[in-house]
Structure 1
Amino acid sequence: MFLSEVCNIIKTIKIINLNKNRKVKTITNSTEIAENSSILVINSIKFKKQFLTKSQKKNIPALITNKYIKEFYNTQFIVKNTNKESLKILQGLFPYKPDKSIAITGTNGKTSVAWYLSQICNQANLKTKMLGTLGFYKNHKKVKDTFLTTPAFEDLYQFSHSKNKSTYNFIFEASSHALSQNRLRNIPVDIAAITNISNDHLDYHKNMSNYTKAKYLLFKKYLKNEGFAVINSNLNNLNELKKIIKKRKIKNIVYGAKDIFFEKKNKLYLNIYKKKYLIKNLNINNIEKQNIECAISIALLLKIDIKLIIKTLNKLKTAPGRLQKIKLKKGKGVVIIDYAHTPDALKNVLLENTTNNIKPSILFGCGGNRDFGKRELMALVAKKYANKVYITDDNPRNEDPKKIRKEILKYCPKGIEISDRKIAIKTAINNMLENDTLILAGKGHEKYQIFKNKRIPFDDSKVAKEAIDKKR
């Protein structure tokens, strides 16, 4: 689309420095994502100099803004309502919507559900786009990394829609921040699923009540009237969600205990609407069980044949950085890399790997400038459910890493403090006996650590493999 065409689509107050022949392919509100073919949306008069410098370095062709920015020398479309006008451009650039749009929310498990569902769809020859913590995928193949679990509306729209007419389903993770900030805006949600709700993001939401309400917005505000809700039977405040669904007359599936759930009686069975299916050759742990039940529920709503779903189950692989196992060279010892970064997730991964009252050891830290109340809770979980505890750095961001570690150690005094995560991992692995279990928690799939405003390359799995190879 040329900028001359943009003029015909949107309603402007004023156009400055119009370059009619400049071509644009995308629209975004992020200078990080913007390219030299992007229109940059500025929703506020507060436009920091560093963002302006970035936009000029990238030679961004145009701004759509509600206030003239004199330091920007390319085309500016001055409009009354940036949201309204940017949507018109998006509809022109990406006119085709997905067949079905599936949004998954919850404190833990969003990524795993999306990952399992993508695999099931792939086996059923259903084309998919998937967006979330792991990045953007097409047909279960990675296309690119993304900065946020759920990006800004403009980016979410472009990931979900397409330039050319095609048949596909869009699977995405809906974070509480995105839901409360109205990032989904005009994204149609056909199927809304929720995994669980536990303590997280209280630095932003202030309390659990606000956090829960943000999650439930997916069902109250964004799910279509004719859409389907997929609900975990073990959800806290389940009655509150049921009221929302009943009031809106939304059809729903309850997994975990009612409509769809696994049951073990000598053999493993999958119950689907009171009909039992024998499942062979599937080793499933309690953490992933409910995530797979959720993915199966959504797959059935997508009209995927139950026999094909069952056939696919023993081919399913866990998402990167989720319960990822690396075995020691001797004995039955194992290092488990997991994204667990909430008290509930930490407790679950520790209990899942406790056998015959033998506790696993754990290595973790807490993110800086985030949900300070989590530190005490995670420390208490580690103190109670872990054998050895190694306290190290996660993503300190702009906070003093030593201060974060001290706050954790206050409630888990048995913790061994090692600031450098690489040294901490190597030390923890060297201290393992042949049959020990060590959990490296918090980072999962991430390939970096954040110190100040810099992302330093770092990979838990890579460091762990190196340490295992050199283990004495």
Structure 2
Amino acid sequence: MEGTDQHNTVLAYALEYGGLLIRPVIRPQGRPLISAVTGTNGKTTVASATMQLMNRIGWRAACYDSMGVTDVHGVLREANTYRSPDYFPELIDREFRTGAEAVSIEAFVGILADGLLDRVEVDVAVSTGFERDHLDVHGSIEAYWRAKLRLFEEHLRPDGVALILSGSAQSELVREAVRRRGARLVVVGDGGEVRLTELVEVAGSLVGQLVVGGNQFDVSLPTVHPVVANNLLLAAGAVMSAGGSPDEVADALTTVVPPPGRLEVIAEQNGVTAIVDTAHNPGALRAALQSVRTRTRGRVILVFGAGGESDRGKRPDMGALAEELADIVILTDDNPRRELPQQIRREVRIGAPNSIEIPDRRDAIRMAVWAARPGDSVLVAGRGDERFQLLAARRVPLDDREILQEEMTR
């Protein structure tokens, strides 16, 4: 779109919605619009949902996230990221040449810390919140947060838009970074400029109102979990900040398919609900357990472990959270990598001394399903949709979703 037409579109949009705070960013010329999300948890859901919403409202969008690269034709391929600042410019250019009008990027902390976005200008930047993770790599939580903040301090256009979730961890750090950058800030969630109200559960969905400033739009979200709803709301805010009209975005939210392994219900059998989630740090585990608890009449049975070669200090914290929020805790192996599995479990047990220890993950899942009674929920946390377990130098086929499905249907 030429500059004059673009300005006219922005003006028409602003007039239609009363000059609201979701004034869209001016679309770039000669390259796709770039939306990027960082944070400790929820990034894949936000990045994927952003792409899906863009495609649904008629834009041709691609996505880079933890599942791989999804091109403008909807084909998913492995992401084979190499540690070079050429990777993302080349990816973006390739997608642009095949018709992409926008690219949604999941900005992992390693991508930011290693400077892989140094040659990428970001138009819309999203934060899901900063909690504890990856201290084994960054040395301190402050260094981890500083790496995340690079998205807002260095890569976001000074005239771009940043979005934060109301009440999210370390949101003040992001606010300050955005202020220094001179970019506009949109708050999403309770008390924010973009929020959800009057939500009720209807047939496995959350139905209510999407509020954008003084306007309301009917919305139906393809989830019953508040944590997923918040991530979808961030994606909606990102698309509106990129120029998507609220009414179209509200309609499109119904069609979003959340990534697999994120509070995914695998089976409901004999009154037992079986769920898989990726939660592998204290914040994510807390959110998953709280969300499952609100929907469970009986007991919450948790199967989980901790990954090897990764932030040993969080292990006792995760154990303590597990014992606090679950009724039965089964401690098992996650991805030990080259660490001794028994040592990992020992460190988790510091916080979960009453847990049941079953090293073999398949056996642990089998025991959880066997112990479940009508009204109970079984949550298998840590690996989500991963299909291999990392043991020393081996990749052993092991899919929590498949195992849970098999055990629930025995």
Q: What is the CA deviation profile of residues 45-88 of structure 1, one whole-angstrom value per residue up to 9, with x for unaligned ones?
A: xxxxxxxxxxxxxxxxxxxxxxxxxxxxxxxxxxxxxxxxxxxx
How far, CA to CA, are the matches of 1:183 and 1:419 in structure 2?
A: 38
**Do the aligned partners of 1:112 and 1:291 also contact (CA within 8 Å) in 2?**
yes
Distance 2:373 2:303 in 1: 16
Cα deviation, residue 265, structure 1: 7.1
Classify the secondary structure of the residue corresponding to 2:64: strand
Q: Is 1:155 the counterpart of 2:87 in the alignment? A: yes
Tell me, yes or no, if structure 1 residue 217 matches structure 2 residue 145. no
Aligned partner of 1:181: which letter?
D
1:394 Cα deviation after fit: 0.8
Q: Contact 2:297–2:375 (CA<8 Å) still a contact in 1?
A: no
Aligned residue pairs total: 373
Deviates more, 1:219-228 or 1:343-352: 219-228
The normalised TM-score by structure 2 is: 0.85
Alpha-carbon distance in 2 for matches of 1:432, 1:106? 34
> Are the equivalent residues in 1 in contact too, given 2:131–2:170 (CA < 8 A)?
no
Residues 192-243 of structure 1, C-alpha deviations (whole Å, 9 max, x = no match): 1111111111112222222211111111111122221112221333333222
What is the CA–CA distance in structure 2 between the aligned matches of 1:241 and 1:377, rounded to whole Å? 25
Judging changes above 3 Å, is the alpha-carbon distance between structure 1 residues 97 and 168 closer, same or farther for their aligned structure 2 residues?
Answer: same
Q: Take 1:147 and 1:467, find their aligned partners in 2: how far apart are those partners?
A: 34
SS in 1 for 2:86: helix
Aligned letter for 2:194?
A: I
- Cα distance in 2 for partners of 1:282, 1:172 equals 22
TM score, norm. by length of structure 1: 0.74
- 8 Å CA contact 1:192–1:228 kept in 2: the answer is yes
> In the alignment, is the contact (CA less than 8 A) between 1:195 and 1:231 conserved in 2?
yes
Measured against aligned partners, the alpha-carbon deviations of 1:281-311 in whole angstroms (never above 9, x if no partner) come to 7654211121011101111122222222111
Which of 156, 160, 164 is matched with 1:227 structurally?
160
Tell me if the contact between 2:330 and 2:358 (Cα under 8 Å) persists in the aligned partners: yes
Q: Give the structure 2 partner of residue 330 of structure 1.
A: 270
Residue aligned with 1:182, SS: coil
In the other structure, the counterpart of 1:120 is 53
| Matches of 1:108 and 1:402, distance apart in 2 | 27
RMSD: 2.2
Task: Tell which deviates more after alignment, 459-468 or 356-365.
Answer: 356-365
**Structure 1 vs Structure 2: percent identity of aligned residues?**
27
What is the match of residue 418 of structure 1?
A: 358
Q: Is 1:301 equivalent to 2:241 in the alignment?
A: yes
Select which of 186, 196, 203 maps to 1:253: 186
Partner of 2:198: 264
Whether 1:372 and 2:303 are equivalent positions in the alignment is no
Which secondary structure state, in structure 2, belongs to the residue aligned with residue 393 of structure 1? coil
Deviation of residue 187 (structure 1)? 1.5
Structure 2 letter corresponding to 1:337: V
Partner of 1:5: none
* C-alpha spacing 1:412/1:268, structure 2 compared with 1 (3 Å): same
C-alpha distance in structure 1 between counterparts of 2:67 and 2:32, whole Å: 23
Give, in whole Å, the separation in 2 of the partners of 1:343 and 1:434: 28
Check conservation: 1:364, 1:441, Cα contact below 8 A. Answer: yes
Specify every segment of 5 or more residues in structure 2 that has no aligned partner in the other structure, as ranges: 1-28, 201-206
CA distance in 2, matches of 1:210, 1:119: 33
Q: 1:98 to 1:390 in 2, by over 3 A?
A: farther
- Matched-pair contact (CA < 8 Å) for 2:298–2:377: no
Higher relative contact order structure (alpha carbons within 8 Å, sequence separation ≥ 6): 2
What is the alpha-carbon distance in structure 2 between the residues aligned to residue 442 and residue 105 of structure 1?
A: 19
Secondary structure in structure 2 of the residue aligned to 1:261: strand
**Partner deviation per Cα, 1:159-198 (whole Å, 9 max, x = no partner):** 2221836342111111122212211121221111111111
Report the CA distance shift for 1:274/1:428 in structure 2 as closer, same or farther (over 3 A): same
Asked if 2 retains the 8 angstrom alpha-carbon contact of 1:118 and 1:139, the reply is: no
- What displacement does 1:404 show? 0.6
Aligned equivalents of 1:425, 1:141: Cα separation in 2:
34
Instruction: Check the 8 A contact 2:60/2:99 in 1, yes or no.
Output: no
SS in 2 for 1:439: strand
* Separation in 2, partners of 1:140, 1:446: 24
Moved more, 349-358 or 111-120: 349-358
Corresponding residue SS for 1:315: coil
Matches within 5 A, 1:18-37: none
